[in-house]
Each structure stands twice: as structure tokens, then as C-alpha cells.
Chain A
């Protein structure tokens, strides 16, 4: 009897404790058998990044352009050495270098010639730690701002900096760009930061370079330092997850005020908004002014398309969100507004003038010049656009990264699309395949561009 009570108590205690008999855990069999020993470590903390890349591009050109344009290349071969490194000198000084040497040949370039060699000195500066978390930097610096992915209205030093990109992906355009010679003072404290930058005028502004007239070993200061420019930027932590960035920028055209704000919503979503406001001329007016000032357009050239008179308050906006799926694809969806961009009336006039048989070639060139100016300034040419981008690392469980984007002009539904695949053969070797195309009717923003589609094949070796 006593034994029976004891056993009952024991069973009761076991049940009460919830101490279940261990069950077979099928997932244990999935642990890689040879993964016990800590792996051999590689790499360093320096952040050095050096690679050699060969890229071959083939392009299909439209032969039915409504407005005739300068012919572009239909093939291009590039070999480029890309170097990015930093060195600590003493306890308070750091030297930073970012450079890319391009050897190129393409269908619209004679070979050999100096145009076959182009060096892009992206960054070269020294930085000193003046005090605890106070930094002074001098040299060519890539100062970037903006919370959006497809369009950055507050990225005030982006104008005229992109040099011969291999991809139209905005995230790549930010990498392949020249810095600006400046003096930058930055102080960081526990609740925020303050940055002051002054970029002096060092050279006369240079004209917009075409693909066939890029200087070889010129630092291109006429693009990045043709005006005295000032920037004040501050981030302030208002709460645990709310830290807006406010910017005030000034150059000879006037003052711009901008702000960036982003928020995490749940485990998978980040929402962001970026805005810049300025009293300025519209894009066409600025393009024509610039063309005349640099001699690209005759001083007496007519306003075509007609620019809005004088300056007005213009707003630039990028608002969007990113979402990461359970299968680890990150999507970005954005709306872009550039009030200074081409209106419907501007586009209609652009096509009407361009397709008029009586339009002289010089006027057709002027029409294209306004659009080339927008590209050179990294400014959205049209008023409203939508942008979608997807990125899938380790796609299909392979060492494969797939990414792509579509940028659509909301006025006419035309757009630009690009898909890219990078396969990591090893930690040193990467193979790349990129396909890009513009779609839309011939009398649309993207459908009127000279290149219909292009395909790029690349191989990259990291050192």
C-alpha cells in the first residue's frame, strides 16, 4: 500500500513538475557534422577594399527616336582597378583614399587615345580627431545625405559627381561618384551630431562632359568645386527610435532646407521620408542658365522648352518604406516628387518642338541639353515618379545576390528597369550579369531615350 502511495506521489510530482521525458529532436540531425571546431579566421578590421573588374556591355540603340539625339555606343569594354583604404597615422590622424582607374574601349571612341584612360579620384582626405568625438577633415570628401534609396533630395553634394557608372541602380550611383574638396568639422555627442562643411570654389565650372570627352587624369574640380558651398547638418535624438536629420545648404543659387526622418515599424518594415525646399528656378531654367554660362548653348539661344519666369518655392520629396519578407527579400517602394522638374506642359512642348520638321538641329540639341543637365545634376527630370527595388541575398540558397529596380514616370507610365545577378564564386571572385532597359511609347520620358536596352557581363577579383 505504502509502495503504491509512494509511486503515485512520485508520478504526481513528475507530472506537476512538467518534467517530460526527453523526446527525439529531429533538428539535431541537421547540425553540420564538421562544424564543431572554430573556423580559421580571415580578414582584417581595416576595411580595405581593392578589386579588379572587367565589364563588357552591349547596347541596343533605338533608330526611330522622335527627337534626334547624339549617337551613343553600342558596345563598351572596361577594365577597372578600384581601391578603397584608410590608414591610421599616430593616435589622432586618419588618411582616406578612394580611387578608380578605368581602361576603356567603346564603339564611339578611337583607339588608342587618351580617352581610353580615365582616373576617378573619388576621395583623398586627412581627418584629425581634435578632441573626444570632434573631427576635422580636409580634402576631397564624399559627403552623403538622405534616407531614401531611389532619389535623395537632401544629398546636396551629389550634383555633377557621377562618373561613368556601370549600373543605373541608385545605390551603385552613390558608390561611383566623386567627392568634393571641402573642410568638414563634425562633433558627435551622445544625443546627436553636428556637421559643418565648407567647399570652396577652386575652378570655373566645366561644361557637361559627354562620354567621349572625359579628361584622363583631371580631378574634375570644375564639376565638384565651381562654387562656394556651405552645409550645416544636425541629427538629434528626440526619443529612443526617433532621430531626425536637419540640413541647411547654401550656394550662389540660394539656400535649401532639408530633413530626413525614418522609423522602424515592427520587425520587417522601415518607413522613411526625405524632403528639401528651396526658392529656385525650375529645372529647365537652371539648365538653360548653365548651358549659356558654360558656353554649351549660345548666349542668345531661345528658352526651349520655355522655363518658368523667375524663382519660386520648389519642393523635392522622397517618401517610402522597405519590407523584408520571411524569405529574406527586401523590397523598397518609394514615391518621388520634384516640383522643379518637367511638367506635362513642358513634356508636351519638348516633344512638339523636337518632332517639328522645321526645328533646326541646334534647337534639338538644346532640348536634349535640358535632359542631360538633369542627369548631370542627379536630379529627377520629371515631376512625379514611383520607384520599386528588390534585393535578395543568398537567392535560392546559393551564393547569389539578385537585385532589380523599376523607376516609373507617373505622368506617362514610361520607365527604366534593371535586373542584376551577382554570383560569388568564392570570397575573391564574383561573376555579374546585368540587364537594363527603358520602356514606354516613343513620345514618353524613358521611351524617347537613345538606348533601348543593354546587357553587361562582368568578372571581379578582390584582393
Chain B
């Protein structure tokens, strides 16, 4: 029996696919979501600056800048967030808190903290839940639908796990999420976000993967409005830094005291 070079190629390809499949099957949906959470979010308390740029038919319309403080709650493994608007001037000083199981909005003009829902709009196509640092594993239950090669935001082919996430608690911004995570790197590549009624609301692409606080992470998210496709928002995170954040920062009565230095 002779084995031709063509046979070698065929068997090598088969072996490669089986190996890839074995790797893919080895990871469970909860493991994949937990790992991609770690890729997206530094595990120590940190701050960052998020700039949101809105586009209408490809043209820039508006720009907002937020400072985000995030710290994981060891009890729930979910992040608590404190967000301060820095720009534009008309919104400067407004704050949003995700602490425990509630979202609070504070307006320095009225000195009032009011409870808001996750669906309430922050700016452009970004809901509050899109900007906050969240561990998906804590808010959604995931199942693995399979693997799929998809194009990322730069039209580069990526081999991904295709997951379906369903809201596990009321703090989840969306009822259902279709999520694609690159195999091996656990980088998030794409997400589709659905309402309670099953309507596709947004499509998000993750890009600009950079070394941030010790890991390669996406630093930019492109959010396409699936209802009005002329609308898009690009969220860019910069100025990351670890910061010691006391737990009391995530009490709603702390909102007026946030140090602005």
C-alpha cells in the first residue's frame, strides 16, 4: 500500500479538523462565556474612559465621553459600575450607578437619584447596559449552538463558537443574545441583541484588540441599530488604569460624593 502526498494532505486536514472540533467541543458554553468575560474585563477594580460617537448614514453626529469605574462583587461575580458623564457640557456631572441589583441615575442639577431600567437609553444606540462593564456569565445562561467561521469588523475570517444567551435576571439588558467568540483566544467578535418579543435590536462588532492591563482585549465596539440601519454608535475605551475602589462607592447615596479629581 502506498500513501500518496495527496492522501497525506487529506488525512492531515482531517486530523486538523478533528483536533479543532475536539478543542471546540471541550469547552462548555458557561466556560466560554466565563473566559470571554475575563478577556473583555480586567479582573481587578479599574477605571476607563469611554467615548461614544454616534453616526447617521456614516456621518458623525454626536460625541459623548464617560468615565467608568468598575469593580467585581466577589459574592455575585458581577461588576458594579459607577459612570460619570464628562462631555458634552450639558450632561457633565450626570452619573449612573449599577450597584447590587439596581441601576440608579443621578442628575446634579436636581440632586435626585432615580432608579432606571436596563433598557433606558444612555446615548445614541448604546443602552446603559452596553457601556457598563458586565460579566455576561452572571446575567445570562448560555448554550453552545456550534462553531462557525464569521468575518469580524475588519472582514477577517475568525473561527468562532456560536452561543445563545438568555437573560437569567432582570439586570440583563437584553432578553436574548447571539454571541460569537473566537476559538482559542476567547475574543468576542460579534453579538446580536434581541428584545423580549424576539425583535433584533442591535448588532455589535468588537474590534481594535489591544494589550490593555496585561491582556489582549477589544477596545472598540461598533453598535449597529438593527431597526434603523442608518444609525450606528462606536464605543471606544481608553485610559485604562487599576484603581482601589471602596465598596461604598456603589451605594446610591455616594453618587453626589464621587471624587472628580
Interface positions of A (Cβ within 8 A of B) = 2-3, 6-7, 9-10, 13-14, 16-23, 25, 27-28, 30-36, 38-39, 41-51, 84, 86, 88, 127, 129, 132-133, 135, 142-144, 146-147, 149, 171, 174-175, 186, 188-190, 192-193, 195, 235, 237, 239-243, 262, 264-270, 272, 322-324, 326-328, 330, 393-394, 397, 399, 424, 427-428, 430, 460, 462-463
B159 CB, nearest partner CB in chain A, Å = 7
- Contact of B251 with A3 in the complex, beta carbons under 8 Å: no
Q: A47-B260, A49-B109, A84-B93 are in contact. Are A32 and B234 (CB under 8 A)?
A: yes
A331 CB, nearest partner CB in chain B, Å = 11
**Of residues 238 to 261 in B, which have CB atoms within 8 Å of A's CB atoms?**
238, 246-248, 251-254, 257, 259-261
Which B residues lie within 8 Å of A323 (CB)?
117
Known: A48-B89, A174-B110, A264-B101. 17 other contacts (CB 8 A): A9-B14, A10-B13, A17-B24, A20-B149, A30-B229, A36-B220, A38-B236, A51-B90, A132-B248, A188-B254, A190-B248, A237-B100, A262-B102, A267-B170, A322-B116, A330-B120, A394-B124
B228 nearest CB neighbor, chain A only: A397
- B112 contacts the other chain (Cβ, under 8 Å)? yes
Which A residues lie within 8 Å of B119 (CB)?
267-268, 324
- Contact of A267 with B254 in the complex, beta carbons under 8 Å: no
A326 to B60, CA, bound (A): 23
A147 to B174, CA, bound (A): 25
A242 to B121, CA, bound (A): 23
- Contact of B89 with A463 in the complex, beta carbons under 8 Å: yes
Q: A46-B260, A132-B246 are in contact. Are A16 and B21 (CB under 8 A)?
A: yes
In the A-B complex, the 6 residue pairs with the closest CB atoms: A43-B87, A47-B93, A241-B101, A18-B146, A427-B88, A43-B86
A308 CB, nearest partner CB in chain B, Å = 32
Among the listed B18, B100, B222, which residue makes an inter-chain contact with A240, where contact means beta carbons less than 8 Å apart? B100
Q: A241-B101, A430-B90 are in contact. Are A88 and B51 (CB under 8 A)?
A: no
- Contact of A3 with B203 in the complex, beta carbons under 8 Å: no
Most B-side CB within 10 Å, residue of A42, A174, A195: A42
- Contact of A13 with B58 in the complex, beta carbons under 8 Å: no
A133 CB, nearest partner CB in chain B, Å = 4
Binary contact readout B109-139 vs A (1 if CB under 8 angstroms, 0 otherwise) = 1111011111111011000000000000000
Which A residues lie within 8 Å of B227 (CB)?
326-327
A151 to B61, CA, bound (A): 36
Among the listed B148, B232, B236, which residue makes an inter-chain contact with A30, where contact means beta carbons less than 8 Å apart? B232
- Contact of A267 with B49 in the complex, beta carbons under 8 Å: no
Most A-side CB within 10 Å, residue of B151, B174, B230: B151
Which B residues lie within 8 Å of A28 (CB)?
151, 153, 155, 205
Q: A133-B254, A324-B119 are in contact. Are A43 and B88 (CB under 8 A)?
A: yes
Which B residues lie within 8 Å of A330 (CB)?
120-121
Q: A20-B149, A39-B236, A267-B170 are in contact. Are A45 and B84 (CB under 8 A)?
A: yes
B154 CB, nearest partner CB in chain A, Å = 9
A70 CB, nearest partner CB in chain B, Å = 30
A235 nearest CB neighbor, chain B only: B253
A266 to B139, CA, bound (A): 12
- B44 contacts the other chain (Cβ, under 8 Å)? no
Which A residues lie within 8 Å of B248 (CB)?
132-133, 188-190
B101 nearest CB neighbor, chain A only: A241
A262 to B56, CA, bound (A): 36
**Of residues 24 to 59 in B, which have CB atoms within 8 Å of A's CB atoms?**
24, 49, 51, 53-56, 58-59
Which A residues lie within 8 Å of B167 (CB)?
267
Among the listed B21, B108, B174, B208, which residue makes an inter-chain contact with A17, where contact means beta carbons less than 8 Å apart? B21
Among the listed A22, A50, A267, A427, which residue makes an inter-chain contact with B157, where contact means beta carbons less than 8 Å apart? A22
A190 to B75, CA, bound (A): 13
Most A-side CB within 10 Å, residue of B92, B118, B205, B234: B92
- Contact of B51 with A38 in the complex, beta carbons under 8 Å: yes
- Contact of A190 with B251 in the complex, beta carbons under 8 Å: yes
**Can you list 7 residue pairs at the A/B interface with Cβ under 8 Å?**
A34-B60, A42-B88, A45-B67, A264-B170, A330-B121, A397-B228, A428-B88
- Contact of B259 with A88 in the complex, beta carbons under 8 Å: yes
Which A residues lie within 8 Å of B149 (CB)?
19-22
Which B residues lie within 8 Å of A240 (CB)?
76, 100-101
- Contact of B55 with A35 in the complex, beta carbons under 8 Å: yes
Which B residues lie within 8 Å of A462 (CB)?
88-90
- Contact of B148 with A19 in the complex, beta carbons under 8 Å: yes
- Contact of B254 with A268 in the complex, beta carbons under 8 Å: no
B152 CB, nearest partner CB in chain A, Å = 9
Which A residues lie within 8 Å of B205 (CB)?
27-28, 31
A262 to B170, CA, bound (A): 14
A322 to B153, CA, bound (A): 36
Which A residues lie within 8 Å of B18 (CB)?
13
Which A residues lie within 8 Å of B84 (CB)?
45, 47
Most A-side CB within 10 Å, residue of B54, B116, B170: B170
- Contact of B10 with A6 in the complex, beta carbons under 8 Å: yes
Q: A399-B61, A424-B62, A462-B89 are in contact. Are A270 and B117 (CB under 8 A)?
A: yes
Q: A17-B17, A22-B151 are in contact. Are A42 and B63 (CB under 8 A)?
A: yes
Q: A17-B21, A31-B224, A186-B253 are in contact. Are A266 and B196 (CB under 8 A)?
A: yes
A86 to B84, CA, bound (A): 14
- Contact of B65 with A42 in the complex, beta carbons under 8 Å: yes
Binary contact readout B192-228 vs A (1 if CB under 8 angstroms, 0 otherwise) = 0001110101010101100000000001101010111
- Contact of A41 with B58 in the complex, beta carbons under 8 Å: no
- Contact of B117 with A267 in the complex, beta carbons under 8 Å: yes
Which A residues lie within 8 Å of B93 (CB)?
46-49, 84
Which B residues lie within 8 Å of A324 (CB)?
117, 119-121
- Contact of A7 with B10 in the complex, beta carbons under 8 Å: yes
- Contact of A6 with B14 in the complex, beta carbons under 8 Å: yes
Most A-side CB within 10 Å, residue of B153, B175, B231: B153
Among the listed B89, B115, B145, B253, which residue makes an inter-chain contact with A43, where contact means beta carbons less than 8 Å apart? B89
B25 CB, nearest partner CB in chain A, Å = 8
- Contact of A264 with B103 in the complex, beta carbons under 8 Å: yes
